[in-house]
Amino acid sequence: MMGSGKHHKFGVVLDAGSSGTRLYIYQWNDPVHARKKASTEKLRSIPKIKTKKQWTKKVKPGISTFHDKPGSVGHDHLAPLFEHALKSIPRAEVPNTPLFLLATAGMRLVPENERKRLLDEICTYARRNTEFLLPDCDLHIQVIPGETEGLYGWIAANYLLGGFDDPTVHDAHAHSKHGHHTYGFLDMGGASAQIAFAPNATESIKHADDLKLLRLRTLDGQDMEHRVFVTTWLGFGVNEARRRYVERIVEASGAPGVKELPDPCLPKGLLRTLDGKEIEDPAVAKKTVHLIGTGQFAECERQAYHLLDKDKHCVNAPCLLNGVHVPAIDFDVNHFVGVSEYWHTTHEIFEDKHSTKAYDFATYQKRVKEFCERDWHSIDEDVSKQKWGKKVDVDTAMQVCFKASWIINVLHDGIGVPRVGLESLGKSSHNGTKEVIEAVKEKGFMDSFQPVDKIEDVEVSWTLGRMILYASSQVPPAKVEGKEALPVGFGDNIFTANGVPEGFQYGGSGPQGKHGKPSFPSGNYTAPDSHWHDSLWQEGDTAPRRIPGLVLFLVIFGFAALLLIGRERRRRILHICASTVKSKKRKILGSTGIVTYERVLEDGYESPSTFELGSYDDEEGWGTPKLEAGRYDDPGLGPPRLGLHVAGSSSTVGLATRVESRERLATRSREVSPSRKGPRARSPLPPR
């Protein structure tokens, strides 16, 4: 279990991807406590986030596989993740720990109605089975667009590399010209690719409407704002690019009946089906259309280039790929780190013994060419001998040549990253990953592009970016006379009087409350150390909204007390209350000269709301008022129903009761039957 100090705060983010869901747990110090002893450097920094390898857990497959069976997602998928989290976080801190489940590519393909049902079930399961801080399902449990994923990644990368450090404190921080000290972020998965960066001053002004406003808060309560461009290219992930590539090969084959299609992106002699599976028996290959590797990497690069769609019409210039607008990138200012496939494809085979060396285009291209022009049989033998480690299997070796050609094309012909080793970069050359990270610590310079996986043993994951945003939102803002605190989060780069543009995504769990306190969309402020269930008892400006809840609680408490005091005492109390009400009623009406008569409608209808409970007991034939209460845990009864129910209070029974009362009053002067001791027996009420 993590440290359980009372000043530690925790957060949980579930990355619900297409292949599985990974749990991440993060920890930071309570900002109010942390800044009491913080140095000037730390006060001007974002709260320090911590995590460890054992604080993560992944389950397969992805939650999108539950789109047609949402009722199973809790027990079959979420349960082991929640169990791991609850074992890792101190029990007392669980109600104060926010839970986020953010889904990406896989869930974006699920039909909207099925997606909504599944997300609703996830939130319901989490609330029923945990006490995590989960005040707003729409904010905490959602499918995020690729742009948001890219922005979270940009936050994580800059946090780890020191891009958010105050340059006035770190004089040598600027790693580029003009004092620009943030890093660009590149991410590539199987289906899509993202880019996020802060353009130089000129481009920021020219393309201001295309940027996102990001607002963070440093430990001393000061706002930190950045204008970031972020976009996503759907279909430009490695798997989707490969699918489009194979389609082009099939279309280019032309002649019908052709079974064997040459593929320059596969090693020599490798037989592979169109959907990517190896064919070991040549006799089987002759029966179906298949690919055969020719091992011509230069040709592979040439064919992959056309997948960039550089010639597609650009509506809003400038554009990079597929006609998608991107502000011009100044590589003297913008230095990028690349994660996911940018790291795996450049390191799993080609940098295994050079993991500390920075990406060098000339060196990388040479190694890829040597590998991909080898005979497949020799590569297969090296894989079985684990020449490149346990992580490199046959599938990885088969796919890496196309992936490498795609990465090279996207980086250099698509995005325009200078080709280190071929193109002159002046003072822009630098050593490797280890040296780069050391240089970052010294606030030095960085290459135009650098693949990274971990920085100081912390994975560069967009989930970290989401938690940085949350932790920053929990810092109390600095008090400025006559100025309202602005919320932490991101939205369109549009000026508004209150600093909250339409569609603003809050860093905490909802809109900013007064005095900078984070509050929820319902308008109720929940302090960081309270639970969303407990909002009824919170103090502050929202007290009037809690009055109905307080009254309901008192009513429930009163009825419960009546049930517990016993039948005789309950009857006496009801009698006293009824007598008091009647006495006051007579005084009021008498003083005004108004005379009232009780009227019984002969048509058999009288509104039940006009019925008046007197001090009658069961012996006189009146039903005792009954307390009916629904329960939250009884799905058949729905929400709680608390109130008095009078036996036989339907319209027809009400009439029968009234008529019978008059008959009984008329017969009270009659003699009591000699055969009975006491009042004459009554007939039962007619059946309901």
- CB-based contacts of 359: which residues, under 8 Å, 6+ apart? 346, 420, 447, 449, 450, 451
User: 688, 648 in Cβ contact below 8 A?
Assistant: yes
Q: How far is Cα 447 from Cα 334, in angstroms, rounded to an integer?
A: 9
SS3 143: strand
Closest by CA to 125, choosing from 72, 74, 69, 68, is: 74
Q: How far is Cα 634 from Cα 643, in angstroms, rounded to an integer?
A: 17
Residues in the chain: 688
Based on its alpha-carbon atoms, the radius of gyration of the chain, rounded to whole angstroms, reads 36
Dihedral, 531, 534, 536, 542 alpha carbons, nearest 10: -20
- Pair type for strands 489-492 and 212-217: antiparallel
Render 542-604 in DSSP notation, one character per residue: TGGGGHHHHHHHHHHHHHHHHHHS-HHHHHHHHHHHHHHHHHHHHHHHHHHT--------TTS
Closest by CA to 528, choosing from 52, 166, 11, is: 11
| Active-site pick, 121, 149, 240, 351 | 149
DSSP assignment letter at 340: E
User: 231, 147 in Cβ contact below 8 A?
Assistant: yes
- Pair type for strands 192-197 and 212-217: unpaired
- CB-based contacts of 512: which residues, under 8 Å, 6+ apart? 485, 486, 487, 500, 506, 518, 519
- CA-based max dimension of the chain: 125
User: 100, 12 in Cβ contact below 8 A?
Assistant: yes
Active site residue 149: yes
Annotated catalytic residues are: 149
